């Protein structure tokens, strides 16, 4: 194929040849023939000496799984296995666009000369901006001849899968708040305490005959003049299931800041908080079908299992919360905590039946419901703007209020959230669940 430069020479050659013939000007005709000859004379030699199959591309990433806003170092290794030097080689490493990634250092392309039987490498750093599972590739390779008139182009099907988890920044921020332990700051600073045989010291009490001798605190006994027993704190662990609504109504608004994305981040925060306190937590992702289900368990492995699910969630279909609740109650023990993250839009009578079914198994329902207009208008709204949106969305708000009254009769409180208070609400409701006794105990 001809490059732009080669096309110019061919067109110029045709032009001079035509006008030279028309006006019997042999100089113009000879010039035209010369230009045409220059444009195509190297083509057979180029085809014979350079073969695209001689080029091999390898993409090397420092990680195959990462979080949003983390950094991925990508190396592209180019090898010329042929016996001829390639005078000019261009390589473009293609990655998904539409704001999913950002190059923060280097470039994803190179133009260079590569000798026969040699290898060269270039690299760049990519920053993912949106969670999901992506395929990086292919690599577009362009080979040009020495004159720059002829080129060959091909996309080498070299793909690499990268799984991008939701942002971890919310968890880091929560840990930062917890470490400060400011007055009134409850993000992880409090425990549900119960005397028992745990590992953390609870207090001292006088000895009674039923106590084991190994639990006597001899130093305290010596100071007080009577035998004292050490008691330890045993935290009550709870069992909880996260219901994540992934229906199409959850993805209205901004691609990065819609209800589903905030709910995914809230689910990640809730999972980390619960597993850090040794609770059993599971998740079910639903729309008009069940997408993912992970039964409640404890341990670090459970965090990564849920993390992989949250990375792959896509909003699609209608809402069938009854099917999700029915699926879970048939597989879980009673007396659990159900954290339901749904916008309560496009609901049918089955929504109320789902709440009744969950309550009939003596489960505690925590219903967190993002209000659509708050998210569709953007995350930086002021209080006055929120009030204005409520007025504009009066019909939607009235329908929502009526639904909340009906589920309120089942002792279920639907908590409306905006982008500003979604995560604090999740943390607060989790801590409230920990304080309750008799529900969801392991």
Which tens digits make up the pLDDT trace of 119-170?
Answer: 999 999 999 999 999 999 999 998 877 655 666 788 888 899 999 999 988 8
60: left (phi over 0), alpha (psi -120 to 50) or beta: beta
Rounded to 5°, the CA angle 104-108-314 comes to 70
Q: Please answer whether residues 57 and 77 qualify as being in contact, where contact means their C-beta atoms are separated by less than 8 angstroms.
A: yes
Bigger pLDDT: 400 vs 408: 408
Q: In the chain, what percentage of residues exceed pLDDT 70?
A: 79
Any idea where the domains of the chain sit in the sequence? 4-41, 48-165, 194-234, 239-435
Residue 35: the pLDDT is 64
User: How far is residue 385 CA from its own chain's centroid?
Assistant: 29
Which tens digits make up the pLDDT trace of 197-221?
Answer: 444 566 788 888 877 878 888 888 8
CA–CA distance, 2 with 17 (Å, rounded to integer): 19
E strand or H helix at 391, and its extent?
helix 383-392
Q: Please answer whether residues 277 and 235 qualify as being in contact, where contact means their C-beta atoms are separated by less than 8 angstroms.
A: yes
Q: Are strands 160-165 and 65-67 parallel, antiparallel or unpaired?
A: parallel
Query: How confident is residue 281, by pLDDT bands cut at 50, 70 and 90?
Result: very high
Residue 77: the pLDDT is 95
Bigger pLDDT: 156 vs 323: 323
Query: How confident is residue 194, by pLDDT bands cut at 50, 70 and 90?
Result: very low
Half-sphere exposure of 187 (CA within 13 A, CB side): 21
48-165 maps to CATH 3.30.450.40: no
- Top-tier CATH class for 239-435: alpha beta
Highest mean pLDDT among 5-14, 133-142, 369-378, 395-404: 133-142
Bigger pLDDT: 258 vs 380: 258
CA–CA distance, 196 with 255 (Å, rounded to integer): 49
pTM exceeds cut of 0.85: no
Helices 26-40, 4-22: axis angle to 10 degrees equals: 160
Residue 75: the pLDDT is 96
If you average pLDDT over residues 414-421, what whole number do you get? 90
Query: How confident is residue 196, by pLDDT bands cut at 50, 70 and 90?
Result: very low
The least confident of 200-204, 270-274, 286-290 is 200-204
Radius of gyration of the chain (CA): 33
E strand or H helix at 309, and its extent?
helix 300-312
SS3 category, 88: strand
* Residues paired with residue 228 on neighbouring β-strands, in sequence order: 206
Residue 185: the pLDDT is 42
CA–CA distance, 72 with 77 (Å, rounded to integer): 16
Bigger pLDDT: 337 vs 172: 337
**282-to-272, 362, 370 alpha-carbon distances in Å:** 11, 18, 21
Kindly report the average pLDDT of the chain as a whole number: 82
User: How far is residue 43 CA from its own chain's centroid?
Assistant: 49
pLDDT at 243 over 90: yes
pLDDT at 96 over 70: yes
If you average pLDDT over residues 306-324, what whole number do you get? 94
Q: DSSP states of 112-146 as a string?
A: EEE-TTEEEEEEEEEEE-S-EEEEE--EEEEEE-T
Query: How confident is residue 6, by pLDDT bands cut at 50, 70 and 90?
Result: low
Residue 31: the pLDDT is 74
CA–CA distance, 168 with 170 (Å, rounded to integer): 6
Residue 195: the pLDDT is 47
């Amino acid at each position: 194929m001809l490059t732009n430069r080669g096309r110019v020479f061919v067109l110029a050659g045709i032009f001079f040849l035509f006008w030279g013939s028309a006006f019997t000007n042999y100089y113009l005709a000879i010039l035209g023939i010369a230009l045409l000859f220059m444009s195509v004379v190297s083509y057979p030699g180029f085809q014979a000496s350079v073969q695209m199959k001689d080029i091999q591309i390898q993409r090397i990433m420092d990680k195959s799984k990462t979080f949003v806003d983390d950094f991925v170092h990508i190396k592209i290794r180019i090898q010329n296995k042929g016996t001829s030097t390639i005078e000019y080689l261009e390589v473009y490493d293609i990655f998904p666009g539409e704001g999913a990634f950002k190059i923060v250092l280097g470039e994803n392309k190179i133009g260079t000369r590569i000798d026969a039987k040699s290898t060269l490498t270039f690299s760049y750093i990519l920053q993912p901006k949106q969670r999901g599972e992506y395929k990086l590739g292919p690599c577009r390779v362009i080979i040009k001849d020495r004159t720059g008139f002829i080129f060959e182009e091909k996309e080498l099907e070299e793909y690499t899968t990268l799984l991008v988890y939701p942002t971890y920044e919310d968890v880091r921020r929560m840990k930062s708040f917890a470490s400060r332990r400011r007055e009134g700051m409850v993000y992880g600073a409090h425990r549900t305490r119960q005397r028992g045989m745990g590992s953390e010291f609870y207090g001292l009490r006088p000895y009674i005959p039923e106590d084991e001798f190994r639990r006597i605190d001899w130093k305290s006994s010596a100071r007080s003049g009577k035998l004292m027993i050490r008691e330890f704190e045993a935290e009550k662990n709870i069992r909880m299931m996260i219901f994540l609504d992934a229906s199409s109504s959850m993805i209205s608004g901004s691609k990065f800041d819609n209800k589903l994305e905030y709910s995914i981040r809230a689910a990640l925060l809730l999972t980390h908080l619960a597993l850090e306190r040794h609770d059993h937590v599971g998740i079910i992702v639903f729309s008009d079908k069940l997408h993912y289900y992970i039964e409640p368990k404890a341990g670090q492995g459970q965090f990564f299992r849920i993390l992989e699910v949250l990375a792959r969630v896509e909003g699609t279909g209608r809402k069938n919360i009854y099917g999700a609740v029915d699926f879970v109650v048939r597989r879980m023990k009673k007396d659990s905590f159900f954290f339901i993250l749904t916008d309560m839009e496009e609901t049918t009578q089955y929504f109320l039946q789902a709440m009744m079914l969950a309550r009939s198994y003596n489960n505690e329902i925590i219903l967190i419901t993002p209000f659509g207009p708050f998210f569709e208008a953007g995350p930086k709204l002021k209080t006055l703007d929120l009030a204005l949106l409520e007025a504009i969305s009066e019909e939607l708000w009235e329908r929502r209020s009526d639904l909340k009254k009906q589920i309120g009769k089942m002792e279920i409180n639907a908590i409306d959230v905006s982008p500003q208070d979604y995560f604090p609400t999740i943390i607060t409701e989790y801590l409230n669940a920990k304080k309750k006794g008799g529900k969801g105990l392991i």
